[in-house]
Structure 1
Amino acid sequence: MLQACANVAPRGVYVCGNTSTSSGLTVTVTREGNEFAMEAGALMLADQGTCCIDEFDKMSSQHAQMDLLLSRHVLSLHKANKIKRNLNETTFDGSEIEENSFRERLRNTDENIDHLPHTLFRKYIAYAQKYVKPYLSDEAKEIIKEFYLSLRKQFKTGDCTPITTRQLNSLIRLTQARAKVELREEATRDDAKDVIELMRFSLVDVFTDSSGVLDKTRSQIGTGMSTKNQVMRLLTLIQRKSDAEAKSVFKTSELKELSEQLGMEKTKFYQALQTLNIQGFILNKGQNQYQLVTAI
């Protein structure tokens, strides 16, 4: 699927996460004699286009480097005594391998679709990216606002996945993208409804347990109650330390000291860090540093 996206994109690059390094994704500095040269990586080559990264879960060490690039569209280089900042606007597609993939349910979809030629589809995407800049209508804004506030109320307890402005920003971008697909300058209430339906489907898919009951704490903080309690207690200590020291960025060693106060094993500690990072409570800043993003 990702290879197909890269093939039809006006400027598409496909890489596999388990064989790519941080330099291979961003910029590699090579030396010839006394001169240095910079060779663009996958994300730079896909500037103004689409970069498709397969097996994204296998490259956790590169997540911090890509966070700045994807959130601010800026790449900072500090190599060979040179400091360079590059603006980069790349559409990013990533995938992880799941045992129970939905592809089985969509096995026959391809047979029912009359595909556009790749050349025509590539031009269509290029035109939409360059010329179509949708804005939200007043009705679309109101629908998104109501849905976002309702999510905040439903997921407001400590054991639930936090709903932050990231989700709001995602709703806005998806609504604009829905209008852009049809080359429309205005994102209407119907676009917003389609996106909200997609968001609801994803929430049900993630948080529904094996018995079909909607559990907002599922896939949130481990599987057992003891694991959930330990992770939440660690997050509470991080929050207290942040309030006491008036800072939000901590070294891994500092967080490990907090886990030792709870009697947490080393393996459980790193699992807890990964869980808090994935769920958006803390952000991996690289260089063994984490930033507290969302309080309980």
Structure 2
Amino acid sequence: MPPPPPHGAFSDDHGEAAKLAEYEPALAKFLRGFHSDDLRRILLHSEPTLHFPLVIDFAELFDFDTELGNALYNNPKGVLPVFDAAAQRAQSEVLEILNTSELMGTPDKSNPAAAKKEFVHVRVNTSGSPLLFPESSPSIGKVRVKHRGILLTLKGTVIRSGGVKMIEGERWYQCRKCSYSFRCYPELEAGNRITLPASCPSTSSKGCPSAYFQLIEDSITCHDYQEIKIQESVQLLDVGSIPRSMPVILMDDLVDIVKAGDDVIVSGILSAKWSSDVKDVRCNLDPVFIANYARRTNELKSGIDIPEEIIQEFDFFWAKHRDTPLKGRNEILKGICPQIYGLFTVKLAVALTLIGGVQHVDASGTKVRGEPHMLLVGDPGTGKSQFLKFAAKLSNRSVITTGLGSTSAGLTVTAVKDGGEWMLEAGALVLADGGLCCIDEFDSMREHDRTTIHEAMEQQTISVAKAGLVTTLTSRTTVFGATNPKGQYDSDESLSVNTTLSGPLLSRFDIVIVLLDRKNPDLDGIISSHILAQSTKAEEKKTSDSGVKSTAALGIEEWTLPFLRRYIHYVRHRFKPVLTKEAERIISGYYQLQRSSGTQNAARTTVRMLESLIRLAQAHARLMFRDEVTELDAIAAILCIESSMTTSAVVDSAGDALNSNFRENPDQEYMEQANIIREKVKGYPLF
């Protein structure tokens, strides 16, 4: 048994404790050598009672001392307390150096006096270390008893975050006979109960047989304590698998560093605790993970790695298409859902929805969202679900659900009772924060459930008032929906009548594309040939590590799924486009034209349409690898909006999205469409 660890049972195995204590000088040397700046910062901090984290890298420790690294991996419960003792020792040595240098030089009056801090916790970061192999970093659903006793690393999404509580950390007892004082630690596994030793643990040569002890007054130490629950990522699961979850205990400086919806990497020790006592219910051991280190990975966008040579290929690609930019854009769009023939308008809309615009703050301080929303309305067999699944693969973070399988609580947030306390459990829109939420069979949702997402779509927040919990959660999510029309689509009726969706909900979608399956013999022959050619192809060719098939020189020959993901991620974070006067004139004129042209699309022609045009124009500028929204981007955004207005199209050919195909000369066709739009909007002034 190791020496008494924090929050573990008392142990009287002094031989093992002495063996582990031999690591302390080496650990203190490691901390002084690699983290002297962190130690100085802790020593100079003005607050003595805070808990300070000292984050070390496991790979550095393993290189410094292989035996020490193996000991930490194989017995973290015993070695981690020795680490904390080594941190105290390293503090004393660094403090001595600071005091010596201050005596020899002129003291700096602006800095506070250095003082040793009592609560310093060594946190082990296992990222990029030898620990990241399947045995030490299993998925949550594959954690078993064999993983107890080693340093584990788990990845997942926080679905529940409990409140911060206080928990007892240690007590000092004194022997009534020999007055020997010793510490006891509560057992988390046994409901934080303390087990006293059978006899006095005095280390004197004679020993003390007494078993009577008394608690020393004011000797109880308390710690901050929080329980969260993490769930394995849905994207990594096989079809039909249920995502498993694991309760995680955070203590001291780790509390409140994550919230529901965050992606996290947690390293620590797998343990177990008795389930709560319920009458006539068998009491079992439930797995629990005691965290030593936790880190949010939302900003890291895990799985997206963009080397410098890939960025050079992007630059070279657009340099090659400098004279024919729309042809280059269409080459990128052909990589979206390549198994579906044509549907150029839908593929362009999917790309613009995933890339999105720029969030900004208006004059009143209100944030205006940059994420567009998209709705596909179409007859059966037009490929709606295929586009949803492909868009989910292109997004770094995505959640797919269906209308029948979603309730208002499942989409937003659920109040659950755990251990007598109410907690909030994140729903689909919170888990997809910063990503994409795909909802198939949108028409199958109940009216009450559909109205719950109004706030999430426009204000990007979810306000909760359940079971005494009143709060607001963020939901910066792009919503991508698909629905069938109500019966046969009637072009003479409005979208609200054809889809049974309310006007307020329809106005929140930036793009609503209607796919009508009109019988076309020529197109049917082309599509059948395309599908047969796809089905008779050999197994998919293996691509390079970068996910792109490149020519010998710099250049992109085929836009594959991994390469598209990198491109979308890069342009989203690289470019912040601003509107030019020409783009503003076109967008303003088109908006005024739509407002003055009847009431056929009253649900769509609101002020939200103007914001949608700006978002889509910014997204198109990003797609075109630019930091400026030009007239071309504004007209491309108008053509996307036009595709949902089958009865009042400014450009007649824009309404039939199902038959829209990739043109041989898109730049020339753009000039014709641009002239039509300029002619239509020229009578409206720019305010």
- TM-score tier by shorter-chain length is 0.5 to 0.7
Please point out which of 569, 577, 585 is paired with 1:126: 569
CA contact (8 A) 2:430 2:474 kept: no
Match of residue 11 from structure 1: 397
Please point out which of 11, 25, 36 is paired with 2:422: 36
Query: What aligned pairs does 1:17-56 form with structure 2 within 5 A after superposition?
Result: 17-56=403-442
Task: Output the CA distance in 1 between the equivalents of 2:558 and 2:435.
Answer: 21
Task: Output the CA distance in 1 between the equivalents of 2:611 and 2:571.
Answer: 20
Check 1:28–1:206 CA distance in 2 against 1; reply closer, same or farther (3 A cut). farther
Residues 180-204 of structure 1: CA deviation (Å, up to 9, x unaligned): 222322111001111222333432x
Check 1:97–1:36 CA distance in 2 against 1; reply closer, same or farther (3 A cut). same
SS of 1:19's partner is coil
CA contact (8 A) 1:137 1:188 kept: yes
Task: Output the CA distance in 2 between the equivalents of 1:130 and 1:83.
Answer: 34
Which amino acid is 1:121 matched to?
L
Check 1:119–1:161 CA distance in 2 against 1; reply closer, same or farther (3 A cut). closer
Residues 102-135 of structure 1: CA deviation (Å, up to 9, x unaligned): 57869477879x8633222222222233333222
Match of residue 483 from structure 2: 96
Task: Output the CA distance in 2 between the equivalents of 1:170 and 1:188.
Answer: 16
Structure 2: runs of 5 or more not aligned: 1-386, 490-514, 535-556, 653-687
Check 1:130–1:86 CA distance in 2 against 1; reply closer, same or farther (3 A cut). farther
SS of 2:396's partner is coil
Q: Give the TM-score of the pair, scaled to structure 1.
A: 0.61
Task: Output the CA distance in 1 between the equivalents of 2:581 and 2:471.
Answer: 41
Task: Output the CA distance in 2 between the equivalents of 1:140 and 1:174.
Answer: 12
Which amino acid is 1:74 matched to?
T
Please point out which of 132, 136, 148 is paired with 2:579: 136
CA contact (8 A) 2:408 2:452 kept: yes
Match of residue 77 from structure 1: 464
SS of 1:85's partner is strand
Task: Output the CA distance in 1 between the equivalents of 2:427 and 2:517.
Answer: 30
Check 1:103–1:5 CA distance in 2 against 1; reply closer, same or farther (3 A cut). farther
**RMSD of aligned residue pairs (Cα, Å):** 2.8
Match of residue 634 from structure 2: 192
State the aligned residue count.
204
CA contact (8 A) 2:461 2:475 kept: yes
Match of residue 64 from structure 1: 451
Please point out which of 560, 567, 573 is paired with 1:117: 560
Task: Output the CA distance in 2 between the equivalents of 1:189 and 1:174.
Answer: 13
Which amino acid is 1:42 matched to?
A
SS of 1:39's partner is strand
Residues 139-195 of structure 1: CA deviation (Å, up to 9, x unaligned): 10001111111222222xxx5433321221221111111112223221110011112
Which amino acid is 1:132 matched to?
F
Which amino acid is 1:161 matched to?
N
Which amino acid is 1:5 matched to?
A
Please point out which of 623, 628, 636 is paired with 1:181: 623
Shift of 1:83: 0.8
**Larger RCO (CA under 8 A, 6+ residues apart):** 1
Task: Output the CA distance in 1 between the equivalents of 2:396 and 2:647.
Answer: 33
Check 1:206–1:164 CA distance in 2 against 1; reply closer, same or farther (3 A cut). same
Please point out which of 156, 161, 179 is paired with 2:601: 161
Query: What aligned pairs does 1:202-213 form with structure 2 within 5 A after superposition?
Result: 202-203=644-645, 205-206=646-647
Task: Output the CA distance in 2 between the equivalents of 1:103 and 1:137.
Answer: 39
Shift of 1:28: 1.8
- The structure in which a higher percent of residues are helix is 1
Check 1:57–1:81 CA distance in 2 against 1; reply closer, same or farther (3 A cut). same
CA contact (8 A) 1:10 1:125 kept: no
Task: Output the CA distance in 2 between the equivalents of 1:116 and 1:188.
Answer: 25
CA contact (8 A) 1:51 1:91 kept: yes
CA contact (8 A) 1:15 1:54 kept: yes
Higher radius of gyration, 1 or 2: 2
Structure 1: runs of 5 or more not aligned: 213-296
Which amino acid is 2:399 matched to?
V
